[in-house]
Amino acid sequence: MEASKKFPPAPEESDLLYDKFSDLQFKREGLKKFANLIRTALNDLGIAHIQFNCINKSVLIDAQKHPENYPTLMVRVAGYSAYFTDIGKDIQDDIISRSEHRFN
């Protein structure tokens, strides 16, 4: 997150943090870490907008190969949500290639 603050946005823009979490399990400890991440981004770093995809990369790759098996797979793109199988391959590839983080 600190890296996202190195290049401040122009006055007409806002800060955006886009992250992807793999195998995010919302157990008590995972929820605490996730909440702390959001709190840090909003309060300490001043990031104004956060969006997350919490989908395993292998699921996305399989959905790309077998879209008929994933008609309701929803992802965050850039400011909007879309069914993964309805977006173009170039955007699918971009979502698949983004950083993954795990709460261990």
Q: What is the pLDDT of residue 35?
A: 84
Q: What is the pLDDT of residue 27?
A: 65
* pLDDT averages per 10-residue partition of the chain, 104 residues: 49 47 60 83 82 80 96 87 94 84 61
Helix, strand, coil % in the chain, rounded to nearest 5: 45, 20, 40
- Could you give the maximum distance between any two Cα atoms of the chain, in Å? 43
Distance of CA 75 to the CA centre of its chain: 8
Q: List CB contacts of 96: < 8 A, sequence separation 6 or more.
A: 57, 60, 61, 64
